[in-house]
Structure formats: C-alpha cells, structure tokens
Amino acid sequence: MEFISGEPQSGKGKVLCVDDDDNVLQTIGILLTSNGYETILGRDGEEAVALFKKHGKELVAVILDLRMPKKDGLAAAREIRRESPDIPLIALSAYLCGGKEGKSLLKQCEKAGFDAYTNKPFAAEPLLAALADWVKRYAGRRNDKHDPSG
C-alpha cells in the first residue's frame, strides 16, 4: 500500500466516494468533477457496499473513509474486494497520521485490500495524481482480462 503523493492529473471515469463528513464528501466531489471524473457519493459503509453493488461495473475507483457509522471503511473494503479484486481502493482517514494507532490501522488497511491511502485533511494534487495512476493501472488490468490474445 502506498502513501499518496505526486502532481495532479485530470482523469475520466466514475469514482465512488464515501465519507460520513458532508464537508469532506462535498470537497472530494467538487475536486473530482472539476478534474474530469464523475462521482457517486455515499455517507456510510453500508451505503458504500450497496452503491458498489449497483454501480460496480461502471466504476474506475473507490475512495473510502475508514471511520463511518453502520459499517466502517475496512469492512466495506473487504466486501468490495470480494466483488472486485482489482478495483483501486483508496483509504481516507484522519487516523493514519502515525503513532501506534496509525501503524495498526495501516496494517488493517493492507489486509482489507486498500491500494493507497491519504490523511485527512488531504492535499488535492497528490490525491488526483494517485487516483489517475491507479485508474490507469486498473484500465490496463481490465483490458488484459478481456484481450483474447493474452
């Protein structure tokens, strides 16, 4: 799992973003749509899984807060991973900032199947760069699976 860093890039595709903080959710939604992505927004882990089951085939990535009501981001990630082993999963949390709790949470994120993470508050440019990179990798994996010659 990698820490998000890098220069911003515009992208395309539909991204599921889930956070129980409306301000964070709106900020991510505006950031992504102003940079070429479509967004589907959810407010808790149960909604994340339901939205993924409904829109999973259309999605290019999922951004999940870790601490949410009803079902946390780790549990939601595990369910999403069972449905789609390849889709990029990005963890977003204020609790990944280091220390014993942060290190433990990072290990849990890796076990749940997250590909990358960033801290809240997050920087827009590195998030956009990482998202574009993971979306590109995911598109390549999907194309490889559908290529009858490979």
The CATH number of the domain holding residue 45 is 3.40.50.2300
Q: How confident is the model at residue 78 (pLDDT cuts 50, 70, 90)?
A: very high
Q: What is the DSSP string of 56-91?
A: GGGEEEEEEESS-SSS-HHHHHHHHHHH-SSS-EEE
pTM for this predicted structure = 0.87
149 domain-assigned:
no
Residue 80 lies in a domain: yes
The answer to whether residue 148 is domain-embedded is: no
pLDDT at 139: 83
How many folded domains does the chain comprise? 1
Give the Cα-Cα-Cα angle 140, 142, 146 (nearest 5 degrees).
Answer: 115
The average confidence (pLDDT) of the chain is 87
Which residue(s) pair with 89 in the sheet?
62
d(CA 27, CA 37): 13
Residue range 48-55: average pLDDT? Answer: 98
Q: Is residue 27 predicted with pLDDT exceeding 50? A: yes
Q: Do the domain assignments include residue 52? A: yes
| pLDDT given for residue 5 in this prediction | 54
Give the pLDDT band (50/70/90) at residue 59. very high
Q: Does the residue 31 lie in any domain?
A: yes
Residue 12 lies in a domain: yes
Query: 4: pLDDT confidence band, cut at 50, 70 and 90?
Result: low
d(CA 24, CA 130): 18
Say if 124 falls within a structural domain. yes
Whether 147 maps to a domain, the answer reads no
95-134: pLDDT as tens digits: 777 778 888 899 999 999 999 998 888 888 888 988 998 9
**Residue 150: band (very low, low, confident or very high) from pLDDT cuts 50, 70, 90:** very low
Q: Residue 65 belongs to what domain range? A: 2-142
